[in-house]
Structure 1
Amino acid sequence: MPLFKTNPFGHYLFLKKWIIRFFGVVSHGRYQNFNNLKIEGSQILRNLPERNVLFISNHQTYFADVAAMFHVFNAALKGRDDTIKNIGYIWQPKLNFYFVAAGETMRSGLLPKIFAYAGSVSIDRTWRSAGQDVKRQVKNSDISNIGKAINDGWVVTFPQGTTTPFKPIRRGTAHIIKTYKPIVVPVVIDGFRRSFDKKGLRIKRKNVLQSMVIKEPLEIDYENEDIADIVTKIEYAIEQHPSFLKVLSPEDAEEYIKEEEELNKKREFWS
């Protein structure tokens, strides 16, 4: 690889590689030693093409979710079956791997800026800014950048746009799917909210069972399915459709969501 080769966003690949290597080593114990990450579906990752893949996932922390995916995806591509043991896989990481994140989050300090260089496609949220509800137009450049990343490799997005569970799916994800026609792979995670603070930087609790399930790609009729149908399909795929709360009584479900929202507010204060 030429020393000064860049990706479509102008980031030097040799620098991106060393950032991933460094933070990969630093973060590995957070999923392998302090806590226990259970993985399902590694073989699905090895059957995917090199590019034009969009991963959709529920969201529990700002950074720990994505960091875990860096580990799981690279370990799987190096032949690991549902494990991230033997961190040698991080030495030659997949460099065309990106994640969609709020621009204000990725600009909030030196560490987030470094994380952004490792693969962030930063966008300006249309519904939330600086902790306040807003309404603004989608920036065409944001959509274009997501498409650029999809065309170059693998992209992770969190369609709810929030770490609060069972919030609505943002329709923008469905528009991106119809526009760029990627292979769409659902990922369902759990345990990260209990083991890390909201930012995903501080270990809050040890010996938590974390899980990551990679599912088979969705079957989507890009031409004929409408946005609402794709949104519903996403809700079920990442297990955030309201029907998943039916395992609880209505009172318990309401209390569960209320507790999660209150806990997230506390975490914002702690962080």
Structure 2
Amino acid sequence: MGLIKRNPFGHILFIKKWLIRILGAMTHRRFRGFNELQIEGSEHIKDLPDTNVLFISNHQTYFADVVAMFHVFNASLSGRTDSIKNVGYLWNPKLNIYYVAAKETMKAGLLPKILAYVGSVSIERTWRSEGKDVQRQVKMSDISNIGKALDDGWVITFPQGTTTPFKPIRKGTAHIIKRYKPVVVPIVIDGFRRSFDKKGLRIKKKNILQSMEIKAPLEIDYDNETTEDIVKKIEYAIEQHPSFLKVIPEAELKAQEELDKLRRWKIKE
């Protein structure tokens, strides 16, 4: 037995722990400082099993969404309720959290490679490559790696496969759910697109109210529900079904803008 502990992907856990600590300390003010992240439903995190949990979420930036979830999950596990106050929760982070990401994204520069070491399960997208539409077969090794990550811990995935809202849910997520039968936890985020650039690395605007709602695990009949049934359930759970896309009256928009102004900094008073 080796003296250096590694995860199933060969990453050294000691290095991963320090990367999470350092990156967490560097990014904390992005969600509690420059902007304010409101969290709802963190009690659901505390009751989850240690492995075979799949988080499904809408997607707004390449990296900020995942970083925020790392903060919220670890804060919740350390006893905080709907709060990431005091970054000390990162001293002993959960090391078996993974996230599904496009392989080409995670190879594009030094920082993405570092973030990949923290927990990326990198896959080849079957519908998009280097900014162009493609059609190619799913690599079974990619599916197996997601299964390996679920067997070891928690996995975050964005079933639309894009940061563009209200795009169709990819059936691959439903196939993974039927195959590995994980606990499926929906998350709905907002405000990240307004506060960060598309990659989620640069702060675009400050004083933006961000939100993250963690919902109760979905009830899924793994054996009898079809992939289409599960896709539909995911669409509603992460609020990306077309029924959530509505035309908002101008008066309601103005009222919401005024409310947002009041809410921005009221949290800090």
Secondary structure, counterpart of 2:245 in structure 1: helix
Could you tell me the TM-score, scaled by structure 1's length? Answer: 0.90
Question: What number of residue pairs does the alignment pair up?
Answer: 248
Secondary structure, counterpart of 1:213 in structure 2: strand
Secondary structure, counterpart of 1:164 in structure 2: coil
Secondary structure, counterpart of 1:211 in structure 2: strand
Separation (CA, whole Å) in 1 of partners of 2:13 and 2:4: 7
Separation (CA, whole Å) in 1 of partners of 2:29 and 2:135: 40
Q: Deviations over 1:175-208 (max 9, x none)?
A: 0000000000000000000000000000000000
- Give structure 2 stretches of 5+ with no counterpart: 250-269
Separation (CA, whole Å) in 2 of partners of 1:55 and 1:119: 14
Separation (CA, whole Å) in 2 of partners of 1:151 and 1:175: 16
Separation (CA, whole Å) in 1 of partners of 2:105 and 2:164: 16
Secondary structure, counterpart of 1:7 in structure 2: coil
| Contact 1:41 1:213 (8 Å CA) reproduced | yes
- Give structure 1 stretches of 5+ with no counterpart: 250-271
Secondary structure, counterpart of 1:54 in structure 2: strand
Separation (CA, whole Å) in 1 of partners of 2:111 and 2:246: 40
Separation (CA, whole Å) in 2 of partners of 1:183 and 1:37: 25
Secondary structure, counterpart of 2:18 in structure 1: helix
Give the structure 1 partner of residue 225 of structure 2.
Answer: 225
* 1:10 is the counterpart of 2:10: yes
Give the structure 2 partner of residue 199 of structure 1.
Answer: 199
Q: Counterpart amino acid of 1:85? A: K
Q: Deviations over 1:79-122 (max 9, x none)?
A: 00000001100000000000000000000011100000000000
Separation (CA, whole Å) in 2 of partners of 1:63 and 1:206: 17
Shift in Å at residue 3 of structure 1? 5.6
Separation (CA, whole Å) in 2 of partners of 1:210 and 1:112: 23
Indicate the larger mover: 3-12 or 181-190: 3-12
1:56-71 equivalent positions in 2, closer than 5 A: 56-71=56-71
| Contact 1:166 1:240 (8 Å CA) reproduced | yes
Give the structure 2 partner of residue 265 of structure 1.
Answer: none
| Contact 1:98 1:156 (8 Å CA) reproduced | yes
Give the structure 2 partner of residue 132 of structure 1.
Answer: 132
Give the structure 1 partner of residue 180 of structure 2.
Answer: 180
Secondary structure, counterpart of 1:224 in structure 2: coil
Q: Deviations over 1:4-59 (max 9, x none)?
A: 10000000000000000000000000000000000001110000000110000000
Give the structure 1 partner of residue 259 of structure 2.
Answer: none
Give the structure 2 partner of residue 95 of structure 1.
Answer: 95
Give the structure 2 partner of residue 39 of structure 1.
Answer: 39
Q: Counterpart amino acid of 2:176? A: I
Shift in Å at residue 246 of structure 1? 3.1
Secondary structure, counterpart of 2:218 in structure 1: coil
Secondary structure, counterpart of 2:99 in structure 1: strand
Secondary structure, counterpart of 2:213 in structure 1: strand
Task: Using the aligned pairs only, state the percent identity.
Answer: 75
Separation (CA, whole Å) in 2 of partners of 1:46 and 1:227: 29
Separation (CA, whole Å) in 1 of partners of 2:3 and 2:185: 32
Shift in Å at residue 247 of structure 1? 5.2
Shift in Å at residue 245 of structure 1? 1.0
Secondary structure, counterpart of 1:118 in structure 2: helix
Give the structure 2 partner of residue 170 of structure 1.
Answer: 170
Separation (CA, whole Å) in 2 of partners of 1:86 and 1:51: 26
| Contact 1:36 1:207 (8 Å CA) reproduced | yes
Q: Counterpart amino acid of 1:53? A: V
Separation (CA, whole Å) in 1 of partners of 2:230 and 2:205: 36
Shift in Å at residue 164 of structure 1? 0.2
Stretches (4+) displaced over 2 A: 246-249
* 1:22 is the counterpart of 2:29: no
Separation (CA, whole Å) in 2 of partners of 1:13 and 1:26: 20
Q: Counterpart amino acid of 2:224? A: N
Q: Deviations over 1:101-159 (max 9, x none)?
A: 00000000111000000000000000000000000000000000000001110000000
* 1:190 is the counterpart of 2:190: yes
| Contact 1:3 1:14 (8 Å CA) reproduced | no
Q: Counterpart amino acid of 2:6? A: T
Separation (CA, whole Å) in 2 of partners of 1:5 and 1:248: 53
